Amino acid sequence: MSNQRNEQLSQLYRAVLSLRSEEECRAFLEDLCTIQEVEDMRKRLEVARLLDGGVNYQEIGQQTGMSTATISRVNRSLRYGAEGYRLVLARLKGEDKVDANR
């Protein structure tokens, strides 16, 4: 990767980290991405959540409308990826527990 590309990626990561609320994140993603790109990310996260919960490919495809190729790609990331899905899913589960205790 070129230095310029690395700097630009770092800037993107810092931009995401600078967001302070769900509303700010929604506004940023709405400006940065197309509606379809955000929708695809939403579906991939849901696929990851379902896979993590032990749901099979066929059921996930029926629930999300995602192809088996995409489900497989998400599954590969869950198993062998950079642990991003695992980290986010664990944090969202913790958030659910906090919400349940309110």
**Residue among 79, 77, 56 at smallest CA distance from 68:** 56
Say what the pTM is: 0.86
Each domain of the chain, given as residue ranges in start order, spans 1-32, 34-102
**Residue among 33, 36, 1 at smallest CA distance from 16:** 33
Q: What is the pLDDT of residue 1?
A: 64
Tens of pLDDT, residue by residue over 2-56, are: 899 999 999 999 999 999 999 999 999 999 999 999 999 999 999 999 999 999 9
On the CB side of 94, CA atoms within 13 Å amount to 6
On whether the 34-102 domain is CATH 1.10.540.10, my answer is no
Amino acid of residue 22: E
